């Protein structure tokens, strides 16, 4: 970097750094301040840019105290000192890191940090992170070793939504060496985290052992890997746009279900890309590699009346009537015990609820001491308005009710006579006539459709 009298002045910055700050939205900025080199330099650069602007906007900092080091509180005090000297408001946020979450300490701390950022940020605010080109290279190598696919190869995005706010990384084009030179020339003070020297952690191993070897052979390795990551991010964008185009003919707008016939017309790589996109946009985690390569083709090739399914964390994908749908695994398969129901009290039935409302001339004729509600056992028959008997299974199939919804239906009995099925059917001999009191049944079906689990987190 060529320096002028004030190394922090935007006039002395590389063009790539100037462009990164020019692209930041002119709204309130919050700098994530750990006290390390990257974040301290970023805070001073943000301050210098604000002073450079004719109409500066709000600037503040936030420090996340993980409490994992004996020096954690001292680091928070250092951050407070830096911000006091710059007259920048600082908020110190303590977090609890789940050490036994199964993610590993690094990932657990990272998740806790981002969740704290999201909760701390205001609507429309911008969070600035100090990740640089060497961090990007480290992240790319780390995700490659984890087999994270193209999205992992794309490494960290320059910006992405974070709750109601937006996250930006304006230093991705700068190497750590360049930032360290700027910090020394500017007389800045920063903290060195001793845990960064512990090669037991994967990221530290890549940073301390692998990247130096690559840089000895290719001095500009970090810059090259950032270019690769940028190409990867563009490829991800193109694949998402392709999936959006495919959605026009493969997703039923009213339900979000997949239409299997048009999906089967796509090539297998395109099918895999689309299914992953479909899950992510539903707020659900994508499928693993083995499920994509093995379970998905078997699922799509299954017989129309087959029972093929694909399971994910908290959800299951099932097919019915030419569609694939994502279901909430927690509500499937519940078969409540037979129970007595005395309207007008509501009856919780599995994950659903039966409600009865008093009426005249319609509904189910009251019965004392009440009704017995049971799950389907198989072999039941219903009586149609014509007086003919029909197997219940065939009647439900004719109404195109999926098997999992059939299994959850409450069957209402009077002694040994089936007199009602949820709010779908009433035995003609037990229907209230004109002038007769009756119970109008309302069946609130379980929430079969899967909702976002919170597991579908963007790559950080």
Rounded distance between C-alpha atoms, residue 171 and residue 37, angstroms: 12
Q: Are 108 and 97 in contact (CB under 8 A)?
A: yes
String of b and e for 115-131 (b: at least 16 CB within 10 Å)? ebbeebbeeebbbbbbb
Q: For the chain, give the number of residues.
A: 460
Residue 375 annotated in ligand binding: no
Rg of the chain in Å (alpha carbons): 30
Residue 444: is it exposed, middle or buried by C-beta count within 10 angstroms (0-12/13-18/19+)? middle
Residue 38 annotated in ligand binding: yes
Question: How many other C-beta atoms lie within 10 A of the C-beta of residue 384?
Answer: 13
Residue 39 annotated in ligand binding: yes
Question: How many other C-beta atoms lie within 10 A of the C-beta of residue 396?
Answer: 21
Question: How many other C-beta atoms lie within 10 A of the C-beta of residue 345?
Answer: 10
Q: Is 335 left (phi over 0), alpha (psi -120 to 50) or beta?
A: beta
Rounded distance between C-alpha atoms, residue 54 and residue 170, angstroms: 20
> Across the strands, what pairs with 168?
128, 159
Q: Are 97 and 105 in contact (CB under 8 A)?
A: yes
Please report, for residues 78, 86, 91, the alpha-carbon distance to residue 83 in angstroms, rounded to integers and kept in the order given: 9, 5, 10
Residue 37 annotated in ligand binding: yes
Rounded distance between C-alpha atoms, residue 236 and residue 273, angstroms: 10
Helix or strand or coil: residue 62?
A: strand
Residues of each annotated binding site for ATP: 34-39
Residues of each annotated binding site: 34-39
């Amino acid at each position: 970097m060529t320096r002028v009298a004030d190394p922090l002045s935007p006039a002395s910055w590389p063009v790539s750094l100037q462009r990164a700050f020019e692209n930041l939205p002119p709204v309130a900025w919050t700098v994530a301040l750990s006290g390390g080199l990257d974040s301290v330099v970023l805070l001073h650069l943000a301050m210098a840019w604000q002073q450079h602007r004719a109409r500066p906007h709000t600037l503040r900092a936030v420090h996340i105290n993980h409490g994992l080091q004996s020096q954690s509180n001292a680091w928070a005090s250092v951050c407070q000192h830096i911000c006091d000297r710059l007259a920048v408001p600082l908020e110190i946020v303590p977090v609890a890191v789940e050490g036994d979450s199964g993610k590993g300490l690094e990932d657990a701390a990272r998740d806790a940090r981002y969740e704290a950022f999201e909760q701390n940020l205001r609507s429309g605010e911008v969070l600035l992170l100090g990740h640089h080109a060497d961090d990007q290279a480290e992240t790319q190598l780390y995700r490659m070793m984890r087999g994270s696919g193209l999205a992992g190869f794309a490494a960290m995005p320059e910006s992405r939504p974070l709750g109601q706010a937006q996250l930006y990384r304006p230093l991705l084009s700068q190497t750590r060496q360049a930032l360290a030179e700027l910090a020394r020339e500017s007389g800045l003070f920063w903290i060195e985290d001793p845990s960064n020297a512990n090669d037991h952690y994967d990221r530290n191993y890549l940073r301390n052992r692998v990247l130096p070897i690559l840089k000895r052979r290719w001095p500009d390795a970090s810059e090259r890997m950032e270019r690769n990551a940028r190409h990867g991010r563009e490829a991800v964008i193109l694949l998402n746009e392709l999936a959006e185009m495919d959605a026009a003919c493969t997703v039923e707008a009213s339900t979000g279900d997949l239409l299997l016939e048009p999906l089967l017309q796509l090539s297998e790589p395109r099918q895999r890309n689309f299914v992953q996109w479909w899950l992510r946009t539903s707020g659900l985690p994508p499928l693993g590699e083995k499920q994509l390569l093995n379970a998905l083709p078997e699922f799509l090739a299954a017989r129309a009346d087959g029972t093929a399914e694909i399971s994910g964390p908290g959800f299951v994908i099932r097919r019915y009537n030419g569609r694939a749908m994502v279901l909430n695994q927690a509500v499937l398969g519940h078969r409540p015990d037979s129970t007595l129901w005395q309207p007008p009290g509501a009856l919780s039935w599995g994950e659903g609820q039966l409600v009865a409302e008093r009426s005249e001339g319609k509904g189910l004729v009251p019965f004392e001491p009440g009704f017995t509600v049971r799950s389907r056992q198989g072999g039941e028959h219903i009586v149609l308005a014509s007086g003919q008997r029909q197997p219940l299974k065939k009647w439900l199939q004719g109404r195109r009710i999926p098997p999992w919804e059939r299994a959850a239906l409450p069957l209402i009995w009077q002694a040994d006579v089936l007199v009602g099925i949820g709010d779908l059917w009433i035995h003609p001999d037990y229907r209230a006539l004109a002038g007769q009191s009756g119970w109008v049944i309302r069946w609130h079906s379980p929430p079969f459709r899967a909702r976002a689990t919170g597991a579908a987190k963007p790559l950080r």
